[in-house]
Chain A
Amino acid sequence: MEFLDFRWDIIWNYRESFIRGIWVTLILTICGFIGGFILGVLLGLGKNSKKKWLYFPCKLYIDLFRGTPLLVQIFIIHLALIPTLFGHSLGFMVSGITALVLNCAAYTAEIIRAGIQSIDKGQMEAARSLGLNQFQAMRKVILPQAFRRMIPPLGNEFITLLKDSSLVTVIAANDILYAAKVVSGAYFRFWEPYLAAAALYLTLTFIVSKVVSLIERRFSIEYNPRKNKNEGRVGA
């Protein structure tokens, strides 16, 4: 049985590929998420807008990118869009990050929209009745509250993106999965490299989920009545 004689030394021999793979995966994911978040905020606000000319393009974008597979988007961007725009490929990094940003933005937009809509209508009314304009009310009253509620789903989105970034390996990105592929190609062994890749992804997602719950706790502290212990709570 192959099971019994795992040859972990072949992973060790290719440790540099795996370490580079971790970096590439992290860079793809972090850049994809940051870009996706910024674009997603704009799209989410747009989809919340009452103005039709703002709402419909945003809705169309979100439907398009959520309704098609990321793999297909990666191929279109890498093989069709970028060569058409620039005349030649700009490498897997540019194509990969572009695809992840555009894809992540669509999902983030929905998280942003839902977060904003979950805030009681009275908050906006109270802010506007004090004379704040729409933008000020969003910035000072709605978004700070909505953001807290967005942290858990945004964390999920980050983890999903981390895993989905492995798709970029199809355009020859040398990420974690690519390292596994190289090892399996060199030794014709499949258990060790792909289990190693799985373990690396698992470790990364585990760390991310810990960080997310840490952030979650950090932000709920500001609300925590116990912070003002000496002031005492008066009956509700």
Chain B
Amino acid sequence: MIKIENLHKSFGELHVLNGIDYEIQEKEVVCVIGPSGSGKSTFLRCINLLEEISDGAIYIDGTKVNDRNTDINKIRTEVGMVFQQFNLFPHMTVIDNITMAPMLIRKMNKHEAEELALELLSKVGLREKAYNYPQQLSGGQQQRVAIARALAMKPKVMLFDEPTSALDPEMVNEVLDVMKQLAFEGMTMVVVTHEMGFAREVADRVIFMDGGVIVEEGKPEDIFGNPKHERTKAFLSKVL
């Protein structure tokens, strides 16, 4: 579903990604772990071209993302993204946050869009917050709204960029539970995370990144239980 070939990314002199090859199948949940600065967030942001790709190629459903003739806006409607800082639109109510893109891009009418939004809000357990503004919600609630907002476009893939890193500890689980449910329903997901418990439990495959390359990848039980690479062992011994 997503195919990444020899992906390179540099910011000026700084090489953040040094050749990544990977393939993600439909309905797979892939967790990306690694020390900070390892390029895992950049890797994720390259998939929907929030970062310009320096070299290499990314294909989503066979369409080359970084191609002049590809309509990147079209691609992005198929790829949902959830950010560390939630990035809800503060000038809109929760429901308007969710209905805006479907109405604007999918040309849904207001009634349809609101029905969809309420359904998604029920799914993330926040139906009663539909008419509040984002700043009236706790961090965990905001992130769940952000997930609902991304789902409203009915994406084929969901990208999560450290979705629980900005949350107070007691709010982490409410977000992870929503993500688990999504994974269970068969959503294709790429999750950059520091939540090793989540990766171990939910991921089909785990990628360990360091220094802008994939050092090791495999089933969670192999990566966590029997890491082969020294760097993976060193990292896991610190975080587990």
Contacts and interface: CB of A to CB of B under 8 A. Distances in A.
Interface in B130-189: 131-133, 135-139, 141, 146, 149-150, 153
B6 interface: no
Interface stretch (A74-82, A106-114, A161-169, A222-230): A222-230
A223 to B, nearest CB: 7
Interface stretch (A139-147, A170-178, A199-207): A139-147
B: contact size bracket: 35 or more
A133 B131 CA distance: 26
A129 interface: yes
A223 B136 CA distance: 10
Interface string B96-130: 00001100110000000000000000000000110
Contacts of A236: 137-139
A129 B48 CA distance: 7
A123 interface: yes
Contact of B105 (A122, A132, A141, A148): A132
A123 B149 CA distance: 13
Given A129-B79, A131-B77, A132-B105, A231 B132 contact: yes
Interface in A207-223: 222-223
A126 B153 CA distance: 13
Interface string A182-212: 0000000000000000000000000000000
B50 interface: yes
A211 to B, nearest CB: 22
B36 to A, nearest CB: 18
B85 interface: yes
Contact of A228 (B85, B104, B132): B132
Given A131-B77, A132-B73, A132-B105, A122 B85 contact: yes
B76 to A, nearest CB: 4
Interface string B69-98: 000011011011101010111110000000
A126 B79 CA distance: 12
A136 interface: yes
A233 B135 CA distance: 9
A222 B129 CA distance: 16
Given A126-B83, A223-B91, A228-B132, A234 B141 contact: yes
A145 B90 contact: yes
Nearest to B78: A131
A51 to B, nearest CB: 15
Nearest to B170: A235
A57 to B, nearest CB: 25
A171 B199 CA distance: 75
A128 B139 CA distance: 22
Contacts of A136: 104-105
Contacts of B90: 145, 223
B110 to A, nearest CB: 15
Contacts of B91: 144-145, 148, 222-223
A233 B136 contact: yes
B76 A123 contact: no
Contacts of A122: 83, 85, 87
Interface string A30-42: 0000000000000
Given A129-B48, A130-B149, A144-B91, A223 B133 contact: yes
Nearest to B84: A122
Nearest to B130: A231
Contact of B136 (A128, A141, A145, A231): A231
Contacts of A16: none
A202 B74 CA distance: 55
A225 B136 contact: yes
A125 interface: yes
A130 B133 contact: no
Nearest to B101: A130
Nearest to B152: A130
Nearest to B49: A128
26 contacts: A120-B87, A122-B85, A123-B89, A126-B81, A126-B83, A126-B89, A129-B80, A129-B81, A129-B150, A130-B105, A130-B153, A131-B76, A131-B101, A131-B153, A133-B73, A140-B104, A141-B89, A145-B89, A145-B91, A148-B91, A231-B128, A231-B131, A234-B129, A234-B138, A236-B137, A236-B138
8 nearest A-B residue pairs (beta carbon): A131-B77, A126-B87, A122-B87, A129-B81, A130-B101, A131-B76, A225-B136, A133-B73
